[in-house]
Structure 1
């Protein structure tokens, strides 16, 4: 019988109080932030925010609990932005929207950092639920960065994969890992690079015993990239059915799918809160288009990160996803 799992891709919005408090604190400690020292007050504010978003997920009844990535001001570029071998430089548009991040310029060897592992360890202490880790996929992280050290695109992607593999090996026990790969859609790799991207994802995924979900979004993968991705040792591919239904369905119909699947059915960027039964109906619609498909696990999630949302709408989306998964389980039974 299929298991329906409610979750998110992480990267949550800050609680309203934290936006105000952290803005004031960061304004007063700008020099410390440049030097990489957040200071005790900022650290405490993020810790309180982490506790709040974990509580919000538990209250909503989500099946997987994310740390929330509230510190990730540079969004998916964060693991490089805090690395000692990286210089964060000018402001860059984050894909094709109104969010921005600091350009992480890699100027030395990407050795072990441990920053994300430390966050996840803090989250593990706050919940007895099934923990979900979140990382940028290697292709997206390389795409968002500037290489001023390795000198070759293939070598740079390999170094990013090595870096993420080392970071992941230090993670505490986790049930699921979401590798977020929007660049596979937004900056689709060319021939040769698509196979290397799949190999890099395979390398990172092999560093954990958890179930690994590769979640592209803002559209659909090109056919060849999708076919290569299925060669990676991953448990599920994610599909953004908010942004593109037809091409995502075509990929599954033409090339098949992994044993598990992640369905991005709630809009992670829209303040319109979907109805749980409507989300369940969208699950049915996917199955109607794939009459022979059988999946062991179906993850129900937003199609993108949720940091775009006001905090109250974010909490509402959590509740909808959790209820939709319960409705799907009941119908399947």
Structure 2
């Protein structure tokens, strides 16, 4: 019997009250928030905000709880942006939208940080169905500038080793979502596609959790998809909002893992899908992949949710939780 799991790719919008409190702190600058060395006043606000987003997920009835990544002002670049051997330079557009991040320039060895593990440890005190969220190694390289490692291949290996070391320090988690939008937006070419899969495999091997490589902003090319399936991961995530036909083609033509992550809610649009609409989209995928048999179907927004106003993000979580609850009712009826 297929298990349907409601979850998200994380990166939630910072609650409005937390934005106000942070802006009111004397001398507060963005650099204070993302430095990794926040003072006690800033830490206290973030701790309360983390509790709020954990409660949002619990109230919505989600099956996995993420930390929310409320400190990640540099979005997926955050794990490098706070590293001691990385300098943050000019502002760069975050993929093809109106969000921006500071260019992380790697100037030394990517040694162990532990920054994300601390966030997860705090979350583990409030939730027992923990899901970790990290950028995948290929996307993190794509978002960064290398001024230290010999070449692109060595840089990708170093980033994969760095992420694997971070994952090894995580508390026990049920799932790890590796977010890899760059596999779509800046698809690796011949040779690099296989190397990217090997780098993902290296990170996935560092945990006993179920590992989902969630891609978005479109569909993978055929070769990138085929190489990704060679990685020892549990599921690939497909963005069925941005490109449902090509994602469906990849699954039917090349197969996929025994679990699958379906991007079903639009993480960049304030229109809130109904639970019925979400389930219609699940059924459409399952009905149109007749050769596939899934042990687990992760139901999720297609992208991170920091694009949304807080009230819309909360409404989307509620719709997602209700959608999986409805599926459970039908299954047990």
Shift of 1:34: 8.4
- Partner residue of 2:101? 101
Matched, 1:23 2:30: no
Matched, 1:200 2:199: yes
Q: Assess if the C-alpha contact under 8 Å between 1:26 and 1:33 holds in 2.
A: no
- Output the CA distance in 1 between the equivalents of 2:191 and 2:5: 35
- Partner residue of 2:295? 296
* TM-superposition CA deviations, 1:184-236 (whole Å, max 9, x none): 00111010000000000000000000000000100000000000000000000
- Partner residue of 1:272? 271
- Output the CA distance in 2 between the equivalents of 1:262 and 1:78: 24
Partner SS state of residue 28, structure 1:
coil
Partner SS state of residue 73, structure 1:
coil
Q: Assess if the C-alpha contact under 8 Å between 2:33 and 2:42 holds in 1.
A: no
Going from structure 1 to structure 2, the CA distance change for 1:252 and 1:42 (only over 3 Å counts) comes to same
Query: What count of residue pairs does the alignment treat as equivalent?
Result: 332
- Output the CA distance in 1 between the equivalents of 2:30 and 2:318: 37
Alignment of 1:29-40 (within 5 A): 29=29, 37-40=37-40
Q: Assess if the C-alpha contact under 8 Å between 2:225 and 2:250 holds in 1.
A: yes
- Partner residue of 2:83? 83
Going from structure 1 to structure 2, the CA distance change for 1:278 and 1:49 (only over 3 Å counts) comes to same
- Output the CA distance in 2 between the equivalents of 1:117 and 1:289: 39
- Partner residue of 1:168? 167
Going from structure 1 to structure 2, the CA distance change for 1:20 and 1:293 (only over 3 Å counts) comes to same
- Partner residue of 1:314? 313
- Output the CA distance in 2 between the equivalents of 1:32 and 1:331: 49
Going from structure 1 to structure 2, the CA distance change for 1:34 and 1:204 (only over 3 Å counts) comes to closer
Partner SS state of residue 148, structure 2:
coil
- Output the CA distance in 1 between the equivalents of 2:46 and 2:262: 30
- Output the CA distance in 1 between the equivalents of 2:323 and 2:209: 24
Gaps of 5+ in 1: none
Shift of 1:40: 1.1
Gaps of 5+ in 2: none
- TM-score normalized by the length of structure 2: 0.97
Going from structure 1 to structure 2, the CA distance change for 1:106 and 1:31 (only over 3 Å counts) comes to closer
Alignment of 1:180-259 (within 5 A): 180-259=179-258
Going from structure 1 to structure 2, the CA distance change for 1:178 and 1:35 (only over 3 Å counts) comes to closer
Q: Assess if the C-alpha contact under 8 Å between 1:2 and 1:332 holds in 2.
A: no
- Partner residue of 2:7? 7
Partner SS state of residue 77, structure 1:
helix
Going from structure 1 to structure 2, the CA distance change for 1:26 and 1:175 (only over 3 Å counts) comes to farther
Shift of 1:170: 0.1
Shift of 1:52: 0.3
Shift of 1:328: 2.3
Please, what is the CA RMSD of the aligned residues?
A: 1.4
